[in-house]
Homo-oligomer: A and B are copies of this chain.
Amino acid sequence: MPIVVQKFGGTSVGDIDRIRHVAKRVIATKRAGHDVVVVVSAMAGVTDHLVGLANEMSDAPHAREYDVLVSTGEQQTVALLSMALQDAGFPARSFTGAQAGMRTDQAHSRARIRRIDTEKIRLALADDQVVVVAGFQGSDDDGNITTLGRGGSDTSAVAIAAALDADVCEIYTDVEGVFTSDPNVVPKARKLDRISYDEMLEMASLGTKVLQIRSVKFGKRYGVPIHVRSTFSEKEGTWVVPETEMMESLVVSSVTYNRNEAKVTIHLLPDTPGVAAQVFAPISEAGLLVDVIVQNVSREGHSDLTFTVPREQLAQVLPIAQKIAEELGAESVSSDDGIAKVSVVGLGMKDHAGVAGRMFRTLSNEGINIEMINTSEIKISVVIREKYTELACRSLHEAFGLGDAPMVAEEH
């Protein structure tokens, strides 16, 4: 029988009534003739409460025990959803991550999936049971409980879909799918019917929170079709699929933004070999995340190095950057947290010249100054003043024709 994996997040299972609603969706899929594996998160608020307890207990909670604690959230949801299914007359069986055979490495709170021993899941499916798996968690080979890190439930779901060779992994969320831009910022934003793994990856790394980036990587590697759709509507959502399945390939498929970054500039850094490594090694060792990096020669033998970090990490980054600047003989360090990063993403731009030109011209026409530029094969990001975020998104959305008739790339 075809297998469907369905993943429901914390909002979708936020209270008893919502869990009952999820049960109805699961039952509809079961009735349509599918074997169903459901992956669920903790009820909204529960994980935060547990993390709060851990932080109240300890400034640096012991990693193994942290996982034992927070994994109880999903365990509660699987039990409650299984009860709801049983009550509706559908045999169901809950599985903790460990029971589901989700084997990970030992990196507590950010464990990576090694393999999935699907035997118990398959036995339950063969017994016509709905399988309800706790997302976000697994166990190492010694039976210690591990967690995959926040948002790991998406990854659990796609990994299980891959291991079971499921027909589809449905990710249920509180929006109707993946949009050409944030509808709160760009009123004309339109739901995409399909998007490629690569575009979704760029969008996830640019701050679009619909799908967890690791889950998209899993989907891409194992070719799992992912269907992002709404818990609260019957409508089709957005399919995340291989590039080859893209019927229409837009030059640009979405405009995204991220207002949660700050930039740091080290001025007049002596331009010697290995200097970049010397700058970023201590920042990375401190567990801080660097995003865009731009380096420009500014005076002979010296350059200005600018990079962005998550805004909440600025206070930690600055003293490290200052220490490095001193050691390397740079002139000074400055920072700025009034920026935003706006990006256009699209498979089509690989072969289509002029996307960058059109982007820069559009922003220039609106009087928006570009402070940094960063590109990849299928995306262009610019850093601008934060106050222009909405204006930039709307004008780019318009310029690339995303609101109405899709602008299709030329055949290649």
Contacts and interface: CB of A to CB of B under 8 A. Distances in A.
Interface residues of A, number: 34
Nearest to A142: B120
Interface string A66-96: 1011011001101110111011000001101
Nearest to A46: B72
A409 interface: no
A79 B75 contact: no
Contacts of A53: 16, 76, 80
Contact of A83 (B20, B58, B94): B58
B76 A69 contact: yes
A61 B79 CA distance: 10
Contacts of A69: 75-76, 79-80, 83
B75 A62 contact: no
Nearest to A93: B64
Nearest to A43: B53
A19 interface: yes
Contacts of A84: 57-58
Interface string A115-157: 0000000000000000000000000000101000000000000
Contacts of A78: 65, 68
B99 A83 contact: no
Contact of A79 (B65, B80, B83): B65
A68 B57 contact: no
A83 B64 CA distance: 9
Given A86-B62, A94-B65, A19 B57 contact: yes
Nearest to A73: B72
B65 A82 contact: yes
A367 to B, nearest CB: 54
A54 B83 contact: yes
Nearest to A120: B143
Given A16-B57, A57-B16, A62 B76 contact: no
Contacts of A204: none
A27 interface: no
- Select the residue from A58, A62, A75, A79 with max chain B CB neighbours within 10 A: A79
A72 B76 contact: yes
Interface in A28-79: 50, 53-54, 56-58, 61-62, 64-66, 68-69, 71-72, 75-76, 78-79
A141 B75 CA distance: 20
A56 B16 contact: yes
B58 A143 contact: no
Contact of A87 (B58, B68, B96): B58
B54 A80 contact: yes
Contacts of A50: 76
A15 to B, nearest CB: 9
Given A72-B72, A99-B143, A143-B99, A79 B66 contact: yes
Nearest to A139: B99
Nearest to A82: B65
Contacts of A83: 54, 57-58, 61-62, 65-66, 69
A378 to B, nearest CB: 43
Contacts of A82: 62, 64-65, 68
B68 A79 contact: yes
A16 B50 CA distance: 12
Interface in A2-25: 16, 19-20
Contact of A57 (B54, B72, B80): B80
Interface string A154-196: 0000000000000000000000000000000000000000000
Interface of A: 16, 19-20, 50, 53-54, 56-58, 61-62, 64-66, 68-69, 71-72, 75-76, 78-80, 82-84, 86-87, 93-94, 96, 99, 143, 145
9 contacts: A16-B57, A54-B80, A58-B83, A64-B94, A65-B82, A68-B79, A69-B80, A69-B83, A72-B72
